[in-house]
């Protein structure tokens, strides 16, 4: 094993560790692994890049028993280990489990967040150890990435920040005032509520005409449909803010279920969530 400093500045640092794995039976080299660990003064994260070279013999057999993995360990055996299932935090008891979003290790003093960047297969290799599988039979990738965060109160938010690319910006020359420096369209007040999808159409067109309306009421011109998910298994109230005040708002707990009209005011639309609930919100605008 050897290590070298790749970057060392006032704001960034990175170290590369190279390891050669040897077959214990005949002493022949199996592969070469390189791990690059990087930190930045401007980010609370640790970035880890693992790559493999000179693989002399491919792995074969049961992937849960014959594999190359990155192993993580912590000092408290009683720490709670949770995973993400369909965007929500969930516990588990099995030794082998799937979690493409994140694994969190937490006790009363510290929280460790492991983000495997979409790789789903992991294994508890001891009371305070975890293997994240990298190479197994048939695996063609040779480069893998991890991101570590500490004491992160909203794990799913960190995953979304890392994995979702930023929205494309379309330059506009005459659309806004030259003095405008920033703008926004939609905001959620609760950090444990995630926007899953949006659609610029009303999935329940009969709601447009539902309910009484005054003769001089403005006619609706458009609507958007938001799918929202509570991710931390905590009941909460989330204020959905929009750049323009909605004319009306409806809450759907299922696509074909009854619609509940919610009050819409200048502050936004307040949406109640039970733990782990997936809701659909329809906003109608002038």
- Reported as a single tens digit per residue, the pLDDT across 177-207 is 666 666 778 899 999 999 988 887 666 655 5
Residue 56 has pLDDT above 90, yes or no: no
Using one digit for the tens of pLDDT, what is the confidence trace for 117-153? 999 999 999 999 999 999 999 999 999 999 999 998 8
| CA pair distance 126, 255, nearest whole angstrom | 44
* pLDDT for position 258: 86
Using one digit for the tens of pLDDT, what is the confidence trace for 4-21? 999 999 999 999 999 999
Using one digit for the tens of pLDDT, what is the confidence trace for 220-235? 568 889 999 999 889 9
Residue 86 has pLDDT above 60, yes or no: yes
Using one digit for the tens of pLDDT, what is the confidence trace for 89-113? 898 989 999 999 999 999 999 999 9
Residue range 186-209+218-285 in CATH 2.60.40: yes
Residue 214 has pLDDT above 50, yes or no: no
What's domain 2-163's architecture? Distorted Sandwich (2.70)
pTM of the model: 0.76
Q: Is 205 helix (H, G, I), strand (E, B) or coil?
A: helix
Q: Is 250 helix (H, G, I), strand (E, B) or coil?
A: strand
Residue 167 has pLDDT above 80, yes or no: no
Q: Please give the structure tokens belonging to residue 22.
A: 């040897």
Residue found by looking up tokens 């949770």 in the block: 82
Residue found by looking up tokens 């008891």 in the block: 93
Residue 54 has pLDDT above 80, yes or no: yes
Average pLDDT of the chain? 87
> What pairs with residue 281 in β-bridges?
226, 251
Q: Quick one: pLDDT band at residue 217, thresholds 50, 70, 90?
A: very low
Give which of 110, 125, 19, 6 is closest to 72, Cα–Cα: 125
- The residues spanned by each domain of the chain are 2-163, 186-209+218-285
| CA pair distance 32, 212, nearest whole angstrom | 72
Q: Is 209 helix (H, G, I), strand (E, B) or coil?
A: helix
The stretch 50-76 carries a mean pLDDT of: 92
The CA angle 201-203-205, to the nearest 5 degrees, is 90
| CA pair distance 150, 88, nearest whole angstrom | 19
Residue 84 has pLDDT above 60, yes or no: yes
* pLDDT for position 28: 86
How many other CB atoms are found less than 10 A from the CB of residue 102?
A: 22
């Amino acid at each position: 094993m050897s290590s070298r400093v790749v970057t060392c500045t006032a704001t960034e640092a990175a170290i590369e560790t190279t390891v050669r794995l040897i077959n214990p039976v005949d002493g022949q080299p199996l592969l070469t692994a390189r791990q690059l660990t990087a930190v930045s003064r401007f980010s609370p994260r640790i970035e880890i890049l693992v790559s493999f070279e000179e693989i002399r013999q491919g792995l074969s057999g049961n992937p849960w028993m014959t594999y190359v993995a990155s192993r993580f360990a912590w000092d408290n055996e009683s720490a709670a280990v949770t995973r993400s299932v369909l965007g929500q935090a969930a516990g588990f008891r099995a030794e082998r489990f799937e979690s493409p979003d994140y694994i969190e290790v937490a006790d009363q003093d510290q929280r460790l967040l492991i983000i495997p960047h979409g790789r789903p297969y992991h294994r508890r290799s001891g009371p305070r150890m975890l293997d994240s599988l990298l190479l197994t039979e048939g695996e063609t990738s040779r480069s893998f990435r991890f991101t570590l965060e500490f004491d992160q109160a909203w794990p799913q938010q960190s995953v979304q920040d890392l994995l979702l690319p930023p929205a494309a910006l379309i330059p506009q020359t005459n659309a806004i005032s030259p003095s405008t420096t920033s703008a926004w369209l939609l905001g959620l007040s609760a950090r444990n509520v995630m926007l899953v999808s949006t659609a610029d159409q009303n999935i329940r067109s009969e709601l447009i005409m539902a309910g009484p309306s005054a003769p001089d009421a403005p006619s609706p011109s458009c609507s958007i449909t938001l799918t929202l998910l509570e991710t931390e298994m905590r009941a909460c109230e989330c204020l959905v803010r929009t750049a323009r005040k909605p004319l009306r708002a409806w809450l759907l707990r299922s696509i074909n279920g009854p619609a509940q009209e919610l009050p819409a005011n200048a502050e936004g639309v307040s949406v109640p969530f039970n733990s782990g609930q997936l809701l659909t919100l329809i906003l109608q605008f002038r």
